[in-house]
Amino acid sequence: MSDELTYDYIHEAFDFLPDWESRYQFIEDLGKKLAPMDDTLKTDANRVHGCMSMVWIKAEPRGDGKVVIHGDCDTSTIKGVVAIVIAIFRDKTPAQILDVDADDRFEELGLFDHLSPTRHVGVYAIVEHVRRQAGDLLAA
């Protein structure tokens, strides 16, 4: 499922779920379903600094000019957030990734209304890490 996970699917699921507790469980389920990240990609260069959890993100170019993003985390909730971030940037070129307003997406989901300030900072660190890697791909 994680290979086809889209932001639209997540947004529809959030709209359907009756309360934050159900949405929180959905986020954890997304984390459990996220495709495993190859251990060779879990390097310091791919580690997201600024998260209390151990998070790794690697954006790589595809043959069609778009980017595939791999991610992993040692906690299920933040791993679910990683899955959401990957879905937000799915099937985009590096330039499109830099143009996406991730804040708008998180606002649509109401995600920041229910995450602790520490997790909020970590989510921004994940998004900025993706943007930095997309910028590197664009410059290459």
What are the residue numbers of the active site?
51
* CA-angle at 54, arms to 47 and 134, nearest 5°: 30
DSSP 8-state assignment for residue 100: -
DSSP helix/strand/coil, 125: helix
End-to-end Cα distance, the chain:
31
Those residues whose C-beta lies under 8 Å from the C-beta of residue 14, and which sit 6 or more positions away, are 23, 26, 109, 110
